[in-house]
Amino acid sequence: MNYKYSLFLSTILSALNAQRQRWLSFIVILAIILFIIEISFRLNEASIISLQDKALIKLQMFKLREKTDFLLLGSSRSQDSFLPDVMTNKLSQIDPRWINFKAFNGGLSGASLQRLSYIAEQALEKNGLKVLALEVSDPQLRNIDWSPSFFASDKKINVEGWLQNNVSNTFFIVRYRKAFRVNILLRLTNLMLANQSNGVALFGRGILKRPFLKDRIEMLEEDKENWAISIIRPQNSVNERLTLIKGEENYLPVYEKIASKARSRGVKILLFVPPVTGKELERECDQQHLNTYQAIANITQSPLVLHSCKPLRMDFFYRRDEGHLNKVGRTIWSEKLAESLIESTLIDRENK
């Protein structure tokens, strides 16, 4: 009887030891995985931070790229109006020696002066950039605030708040724990493919439907005239009595600061107003806006590209949207930007 009891007890203890060993192995493996993730987060903190915000993602994509000569920043109008590959192809047609000229579209929805200032100043830290193109439009000039959350959590006293307040300063894996969300993890694709991307669309944003968009229409004679570009060049003599659109105390210092840093980095500035039509055109081509364009060109000492201010057909825009170009419109405008780079002498044969 005692023998059977001892055998039973021995079997139970063996099972418990085996289970304990399995749990110990699991804990060790989990600790190793967490340690590897923690080290990865520390080594790639900038990329992890960028996953929370579309603007930061595009900035990080730009930084990860091997070479970029031309960077365009602005609102969703810029994102929908500029095709880098079309512009660079046009440049190479003009002069084959520009065939290696690389461009990136940094435009994003939700424009603001703070975001423009932050992204531009960070982008200017990267070597090799030749031209920085900055949007000048109502959405870009009138919106001011932008403050990414940097994965900050609610300050309520709960588990989330306790982790944020007590552990996040020590462990990056806790500080940036929201990066494990599925929608955040999907954004990693953008960083992994940064060198192959031209910035037009982030992963999942219209990528499947874009190839099927209408890509050509018949150009009328009046279209050629209406699509003509004009370049507002900086003037040394300034008429201080010119009436500008409201908010000059906000937007003029931002553009001046960016231009100053660009000059210190040897980067040229190209200002531009994305094409609009209808009521948007009436507003953004009135005298106050034209005065404002001239004032920004003056304070930055940079040329500003503007289309003819004549009405464009809705065939060049998204349906019922007078401010965002469709595939046809953005192709035309991208070629116009290529021509403006040459006409404004921002690039030449020696600056390819």
CATH number at residue 76: 3.40.50.1110
- 234 occurs within a structural domain: yes
Tokens, residue 82: 């500029």
In this structure, is residue 77 part of a structural domain?
Answer: yes
Q: Is there a domain that residue 183 lies in?
A: no
- Residue 237: which domain range? 54-148+194-343
* Inside any domain, residue 103: yes
| Same domain membership, residue 139 and residue 87 | yes
Rounded to 5 degrees, φ, ψ at 43 are: -75, -25
Percentage with pLDDT > 90 across the chain: 23
Highest mean pLDDT out of 7-16, 32-41, 240-249, 264-273: 264-273
- 60 and 24 in a single domain? The answer is no
Distance CA 333, CA 86 (A): 9
Residue 105 has pLDDT above 80, yes or no: yes
Tokens of 99: 């065939």
* The total number of structural domains that make up the chain: 2
DSSP label at 62? Answer: H
Closest CA to 151 of 62, 39, 35, 41: 41
What gap in Å lies between CA 296 and CA 253, rounded to an integer?
A: 9
Asked if pLDDT for residue 165 goes beyond 80, the answer is: no
Question: Are 124 and 232 contained in the same domain?
Answer: yes
Pair (144, 9) in one structural domain: no
Task: Tell me what the mean pLDDT of segment 108-112 comes to.
Answer: 80
Whether 161 is covered by a domain: the verdict is no
- Asked whether residue 122 falls in the same domain as residue 208, the answer is yes
Closest to 275 in 3D by CA, of 245, 314, 302: 314
Contacts of 133 (CB under 8 A, 6+ apart): 70, 71, 72, 73, 74, 269, 270, 271, 272, 337
191's tokens: 């960083």
The answer to the question of residue 305 being in a domain is yes
62 falls within a domain: yes
Burial 100-117 (b: 16+ CB within 10 A, else e): ebbbbbbbbeebbbebbb
**Average pLDDT of span 26-36:** 84
User: Which H or E run includes 44?
Assistant: none
Task: Identify the pLDDT of residue 261.
Answer: 95
Alpha-carbon span 53 to 94, nearest angstrom? 37
Are 7 and 115 in the same domain?
A: no
Find the range with the poorest average confidence among 34-43, 158-167, 183-192, 333-342: 158-167
7 with 130, same domain: the answer is: no
229-232/304-307 β-pairing: antiparallel
User: Do 33 and 75 reside in the same domain of the chain?
Assistant: no
Strands 268-272 and 229-232: unpaired
Let me know whether 31 and 81 are in one domain: no
* Residue 204 confidence (pLDDT): 46
86 and 35 in one domain? no
Q: Are residues 12 and 107 in the same domain?
A: no
The residues, ordered by sequence, that sit 6+ positions from 177 with a Cβ below 8 Å of its Cβ are 151, 163
Quick check: is 170 in a domain? no
CB 232 within 8 A of CB 294: yes
Question: Does position 157 have pLDDT exceeding 60, yes or no?
Answer: no
Which pLDDT belongs to residue 208? 40
Predicted local confidence at residue 96, as pLDDT = 83
- Considering the domain architecture, whether residues 109 and 139 belong to the same structural domain is answered as yes
3-state secondary structure (DSSP) of residue 349 = coil
Q: What mean pLDDT is reported for the chain? A: 80
